[in-house]
């Protein structure tokens, strides 16, 4: 069988970026959560917030390390596997990545050291500031990388000469038409993802009867933010969808498995799209609801797949399915947050009931939704790597299939080891739970680090 370097390089990119996105999706929210806890600790003087911040900082450290190392891979993969892409669009999106490094990566990486190890070396206010700067850094990083991605989705502010894009208006490049909603949608998704992890961990502790005050604080803080953000995310998603319809109608047609654009669209709940016959098999659909959602008019119409040449259509099935997975999870999240908030309001949240058991298992929801969303938008961009400008098949490096295959296998093996170990250790940290703060004895005041460590050990042994 002849190996196709294009397919292999695409699998490799999809694999490495899917692995990577899990960690930013978590650490963007987690750093904000830790900064909030440290802020509450400063403000109220309540040690519980400080204990919780310490506990989540350990988990943050492990997750962030995995995010950093899997991210470096991507910077270099543009060149190793997609050198034609790097050459064609480097003038335009290269500087955006450059600004990401200068404004975000250094900020995160430098203040991470103080956040993780500086507790006893800087004042509480400085420690809090470091956590805020890390959280801000992760958000700035999201800003630039989403700006670059949005430009690829719908390029603007450039001109093309001899197949190479040149910048004309930087403002339009950075704030390209699809950027705003994508940015808001992704940041909100990251905060929701972390919210459900915190909620689930709190519920687990509570069900085991361990760390009860901490568990209640975690669940209340998580539910408080989730009950606001999950419905807001649905509204943001709707605007993002309308924006996509305006700029990438072929993607919307694939997301909805909508073939015939001359009639109002049904909302297809389930179907197996048949790309040869250009129809849906086994379709379950609600008439006209698709048009209502996308045009806000029961009789509105929007382009169907048949209006695009077959070579300009994205693959329908994965886009259609992954979009449904994302939306389905989103609706489930709204329901769960609402039920939790209602129970809290009625004073019935902390009961060993089914809802508590469900909450204890909600931690993967955000991750799956984020991955499904990115699969939707990235496969939905195909066959283009930069819409209208360069097709994915033209972006490949002059590297042999065997080389790409070997590197793909190595990435899969290494990431499997890292992922399994990282998951195992994070789980172990979670099992251990937060350590109660023990007032420090000034044992050896000349060596504050050693004293801190001793009290940490006492606390650890007391907790076990």
Binding site for another protein (CB under 8 A): 58, 61-62, 65-66, 68-70, 72-73, 75-76, 78-80, 83-84, 86-87, 90-92, 94-95, 97-103, 105-114, 116-118, 121-122, 166-167, 170, 397-400, 402-403, 407, 410-411, 414, 418, 421-422, 425, 428-429, 447, 449-450, 453
Which of 459, 443, 437, 438 is closest to 51 using CA atoms?
A: 437
Tell me whether residue 8 or residue 223 sits nearer to another protein (CB atom): 8
- The residue written with tokens 């975690």 in the block is 218
CB of 264 to another protein, least distance (A): 45
Tell me whether residue 133 or residue 218 sits nearer to another protein (CB atom): 133
Peptide bond preceding 383: is omega within 30 degrees of 0, i.e. cis? yes
Which three-class secondary structure state does DSSP give residue 455? helix
Burial per residue of 144-174, b for 16 or more beta-carbon CB atoms within 10 angstroms, e otherwise: bbbbbbbbbbbbbbbeeeeebbebeeeeebb
CB of 117 to another protein, least distance (A): 3
CB of 416 to another protein, least distance (A): 12
CB of 148 to another protein, least distance (A): 11
Residues 212, 235: Cα–Cα separation, whole Å: 35
Tell me whether residue 99 or residue 308 sits nearer to another protein (CB atom): 99
Tell me whether residue 78 or residue 367 sits nearer to another protein (CB atom): 78
Dihedral through CA 76, CA 82, CA 88, CA 90, nearest 10?
-10
Residues 389, 166: Cα–Cα separation, whole Å: 12
CB of 381 to another protein, least distance (A): 21
Tell me whether residue 161 or residue 281 sits nearer to another protein (CB atom): 161
Tell me whether residue 12 or residue 291 sits nearer to another protein (CB atom): 12
| CB-CB contact of 181 with 237 (8 Å) | no
Angle at 34 between CA 61 and CA 359, to 5 degrees: 95
CB of 116 to another protein, least distance (A): 7
CB of 121 to another protein, least distance (A): 5
Q: How many residues are present in the chain? A: 464
Tell me whether residue 54 or residue 376 sits nearer to another protein (CB atom): 54
* Cβ contacts of 418 within 8 Å, gap of 6 or more: 66, 69, 70
Q: Which two tokens stand for residue 18?
A: 């899917």
Tell me whether residue 212 or residue 409 sits nearer to another protein (CB atom): 409
CB of 203 to another protein, least distance (A): 23
- The residue written with tokens 């891979």 in the block is 73
DSSP per residue, 56-124: HHHHHHHHHHHHHHHHHHHHHHHHHH-HHHHHHHHHHHHHHHHHHIIIIIHHHHHHHHHHHH-TTTS-H
CB of 464 to another protein, least distance (A): 14
| CB-CB contact of 178 with 248 (8 Å) | yes
Tell me whether residue 105 or residue 320 sits nearer to another protein (CB atom): 105
Residues 445, 203: Cα–Cα separation, whole Å: 39
How many CA atoms within 13 Å lie on the side-chain side of 125? 0
Tell me whether residue 13 or residue 359 sits nearer to another protein (CB atom): 13
Tell me whether residue 170 or residue 342 sits nearer to another protein (CB atom): 170
CB of 206 to another protein, least distance (A): 24
CB of 446 to another protein, least distance (A): 11
Q: Is the dihedral of CA 203, 205, 210, 215 positive or negative?
A: negative
């Amino acid at each position: 069988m002849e190996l196709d370097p294009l397919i292999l390089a695409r699998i490799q990119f999809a694999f490495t970026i899917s692995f990577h996105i899990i960690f930013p999706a978590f650490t963007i929210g987690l750093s904000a959560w830790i900064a909030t806890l440290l802020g509450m600790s400063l403000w109220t003087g309540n040690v519980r917030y400080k204990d919780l911040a310490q506990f989540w900082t350990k988990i943050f450290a492990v997750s962030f390390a995995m995010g950093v190392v899997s991210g470096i891979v991507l910077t270099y993969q543009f060149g190793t596997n997609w050198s034609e892409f790097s050459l064609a669009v480097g003038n335009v999106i290269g500087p955006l990545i450059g600004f990401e490094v200068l404004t975000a990566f250094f900020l995160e990486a430098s203040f991470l050291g103080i956040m993780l190890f500086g507790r006893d070396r800087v004042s509480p206010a400085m420690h809090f500031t470091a956590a805020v700067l890390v959280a801000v850094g992760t958000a700035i990083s999201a800003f630039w990388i989403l700006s670059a991605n949005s430009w690829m989705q719908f390029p603007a502010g450039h001109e093309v000469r001899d197949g190479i894009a040149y910048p004309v208006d930087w403002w339009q490049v950075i704030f390209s038409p699809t950027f705003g909603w994508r940015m808001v949608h992704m940041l909100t998704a990251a905060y929701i993802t972390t919210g459900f992890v915190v909620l689930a961990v709190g519920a687990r502790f509570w069900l085991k009867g361990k760390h009860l005050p901490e568990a209640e604080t975690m669940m209340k803080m998580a539910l408080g933010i989730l009950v606001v953000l999950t419905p807001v995310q649905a509204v943001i998603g709707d605007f993002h969808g309308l924006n996509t319809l305006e700029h990438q109608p072929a993607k919307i047609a694939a997301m909805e498995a909508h073939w015939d654009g001359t009639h109002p669209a049904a909302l297809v709940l389930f179907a197996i799209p048949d790309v040869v016959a250009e129809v849906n098999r086994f379709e379950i659909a609600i008439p006209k609801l698709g048009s209502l959602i996308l045009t806000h008019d029961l009789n509105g119409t929007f382009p169907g797949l048949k209006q695009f040449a077959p070579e300009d259509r994205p693959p329908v099935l994965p886009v259609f399915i992954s979009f449904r997975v994302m939306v389905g999870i989103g609706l489930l999240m709204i329901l769960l947050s609402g039920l939790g908030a209602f129970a809290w309001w009625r004073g019935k949240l902390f009961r060993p009931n089914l809802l508590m058991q469900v909450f204890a298992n909600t931690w993967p929801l955000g991750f799956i939704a984020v991955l499904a969303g990115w699969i939707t938008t990235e496969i939905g961009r195909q066959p283009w790597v930069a819409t209208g400008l360069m097709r994915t098949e033209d972006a490949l490096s002059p590297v042999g299939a065997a080389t790409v295959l070997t590197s793909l296998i190595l990435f899969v093996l290494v990431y499997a080891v890292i992922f399994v170990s990282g998951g195992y250790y994070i789980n172990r940290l979670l099992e251990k739970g937060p350590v109660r703060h023990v007032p420090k004895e000034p044992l050896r005041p000349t060596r504050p680090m050693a004293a801190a460590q001793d009290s940490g050990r006492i606390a650890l042994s007391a907790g076990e």
